[in-house]
Structure 1
Amino acid sequence: MTLNKTGKYTVIDLFCGAGGLSRGFFDAGFNVVLGIDFDDKALESFSHNHGNTKALKLDLFNFENIDIIYEEAKRITSKIDVLVGGPPCQGFSLAGKREADDERNTLYLAMVKVAEKLKPRVIVLENVPGMLTLYNGAAKDRIFEDFERIGYNMSVKVLYAPDYGVPQIRKRAFFVGLLGSDEPFEFPLPSHSENMYISCEDAIGDLPALEGIYGDEVQDYETRAKTDYQKEMRKNSKKIYNNLGTIHSEKTIKMISLVPEGKNYKSLPEEYRGMYKYNEALTRYSSSKPSLTINTGHRSHFHYKHNRIPTVRESARLQSFPDDFIFYGTKTEQYKQVGNAVPPKLGRAIANEVEKYLKRSNNEKV
């Protein structure tokens, strides 16, 4: 048995950010004992939203810091069951330059080195789907080889967030390694078919309009929850946080108002179309579909009904962060934390299958 004194399996989160992936494990009943990142405000958000956890600021480019992680983990608990992490994906991303020698592509080695020292029974590494195919699959092969060298049986799969109850079009690749196991990891089956996907309105339709106003730092719910998803998000919160509106210029408001629901700048009158080049510029969400992928820039997507960008809380809802998850830092820092995160409900789907594996390997009742 490797349950710690809380009776729960233990988790460490590398490159944790605000902690979307580990919040999924936390919500599934795991004990998230430690998160490591280099962003002060993201670490503050992490530390306030994962129970009795510890946030550690370390530069994971510097592999000498691996020893600090090892010592801190051993001080907290006798055994780490799961190591999760989302190494920064800029080097692999489709959004920027793709260069095989981008040093950010090797940050996953911090996970390899931590796993080699702590020997968690399961590792979960998430990243962009492009990691599987770029450089003719060399990146994916190297990740497999490096973890298999230290005893992990590796599996990988791209999961589509709406299939797991997340109201957002987002794909993530999950590498899962099982220490000393002959069996491949069994990835979670979808819980939602296309006709069951959670829409934008299902997710955020109960939140205040905030059109032309900022609103208060802490707000009241103005209406009852209208959908099961809204009830789930509001379950442990009596107030609304991180929900300040944005007041745009008259020109921006005019442009947004001309875009029909679910369309973008290409639907503008011809005299305005040439003002925009970016493919997703001036995109208005559809009320009846999941949102587009939440990004960190937060300036190109707009509310399906109101003539403004989504608030941090609305973006967090679309990422499946519950309302009791409070983000710290400036508004811009909060948007970045939300956009960089793994949707917690997607993390929870992985966590549920990890727990089944841990129980099976312990001969516990699943």
Structure 2
Amino acid sequence: EDILSMVGQVDVVIGSPPCEAFTGANPRRKPAPLDRLFDDPQGRLVLHYIRLVGDLKPSVFVMENVPALAEGPLREALRNEFARVGYTSVYFNLLRAEDYGTPSHRLRLFISNIRLKPPVSGRRVTVIEAIGDLPPPSSPHDVPNHELVPLSSKKQRRISKLKWGEALIRYAGAEGKIYYNYVRLHPYRPAPTVMGSSRFVHPFEDRLLTVREQARLMGFPDNHVFRGGRDVQFDQVGEAVPPPLARAIASEVKKHLSV
């Protein structure tokens, strides 16, 4: 009611409830898929998003999350929840950010009442194309969020031995799946998926990427400044929808509204 009183009719609702309840990178993810949606406090935020969509009745809604949100019985459960608030046609759109100019791999689910199939941008952008023109973080510069990330001498010695694609840290996610961190990036390929916990090693230097370099891998322009402590800034980058992909989706929504 507050939203409707302030803005009137809502044309589009775009949201991204937290993915922690569903992602395989969470070793504490509930084993039963439906428990993730109905019993996990963060998972239930998806239901609150659906409730808001039902209250606001937009022409278009788009909800972003990890592909595992539609795993097993979850897809049918979500269809039922959207139908309950008046949306009987629901599409589960899987899009890869690297197909739209993002210099990193990222497969994400976009649930909507319209089909989202933006035209792909063609050639993929590599790591070195994304970050190669930035000045060294240790030198004088005016690039925001481009400060050197401190490393212990022991960790620096260990990362100095990493080859392209090798990782310093391996950890188990849900169901024992192995994930990697402190990966030395291959300069001539897109980066792996950027997450809030991601720390990447520079392709040619024995240091971690700065927040700005990691933001470049997500397609953020340099005038997008991140606030808060360094870890908070890394979280803001890694939990975002890459701007090039967001732009492609927005164009599809605009086309639908123009019909």
Query: Partner letter of residue 150 of structure 2?
Result: I
Number of equivalent positions: 243
Identity between Structure 1 and Structure 2 (%): 35
Q: Contact between 1:244 and 1:312, CA under 8 Å: does it hold in 2?
A: yes
In the alignment, structure 1 residue 313 sits paired with structure 2 residue 212 = yes
State the alpha-carbon separation in 2 of the partners of residues 124 and 318 from structure 1. 23
State the alpha-carbon separation in 2 of the partners of residues 93 and 103 from structure 1. 14
Larger Rg: 1
In the alignment, structure 1 residue 332 sits paired with structure 2 residue 238 = no
CA deviation profile, 1:154-205 (whole Å, cap 9, x unmatched): 111211111111000111001012xxxxxx524213222xxx2100001010
State the alpha-carbon separation in 2 of the partners of residues 186 and 146 from structure 1. 20
Point out where structure 2 has 5 or more consecutive residues left out of the alignment. Answer: 172-178
Query: Partner letter of residue 296 of structure 1?
Result: G
State the alpha-carbon separation in 2 of the partners of residues 280 and 186 from structure 1. 31
Query: Partner letter of residue 24 of structure 2?
Result: L
In the alignment, structure 1 residue 352 sits paired with structure 2 residue 251 = yes
State the alpha-carbon separation in 1 of the partners of residues 185 and 213 from structure 2. 12
SS in 2 for 1:103: coil
Q: Equivalent residue for 1:287?
A: 187
**When the two structures are superposed, what TM-score results if normalisation uses the length of structure 2?**
0.87
State the alpha-carbon separation in 2 of the partners of residues 187 and 114 from structure 1. 25
Q: Contact between 2:104 and 2:190, CA under 8 Å: does it hold in 1?
A: yes
How well do the aligned residues superpose, as a CA RMSD in angstroms? 1.7
Q: Contact between 1:124 and 1:174, CA under 8 Å: does it hold in 2?
A: yes
CA deviation profile, 1:55-99 (whole Å, cap 9, x unmatched): xxxxxxxxxxxxxxx314531x22211111111111111012332
Q: Equivalent residue for 1:107?
A: 45
State the alpha-carbon separation in 1 of the partners of residues 148 and 215 from structure 2. 14
Give the alignment partner of residue 172 of structure 1, picking from 93, 103, 108: 108
State the alpha-carbon separation in 1 of the partners of residues 150 and 252 from structure 2. 43
Q: Contact between 1:200 and 1:285, CA under 8 Å: does it hold in 2?
A: yes
State the alpha-carbon separation in 1 of the partners of residues 170 and 154 from structure 2. 17
Q: Equivalent residue for 2:5?
A: 74
State the alpha-carbon separation in 2 of the partners of residues 291 and 186 from structure 1. 24
1:333: Cα distance to partner?
1.0
Give the alignment partner of residue 241 of structure 1, picking from 144, 148, 154: 144
Q: Contact between 1:259 and 1:282, CA under 8 Å: does it hold in 2?
A: no
State the alpha-carbon separation in 1 of the partners of residues 181 and 52 from structure 2. 41
Give the 5 Å matches for 1:15-54.
none
Q: Equivalent residue for 2:80?
A: 145
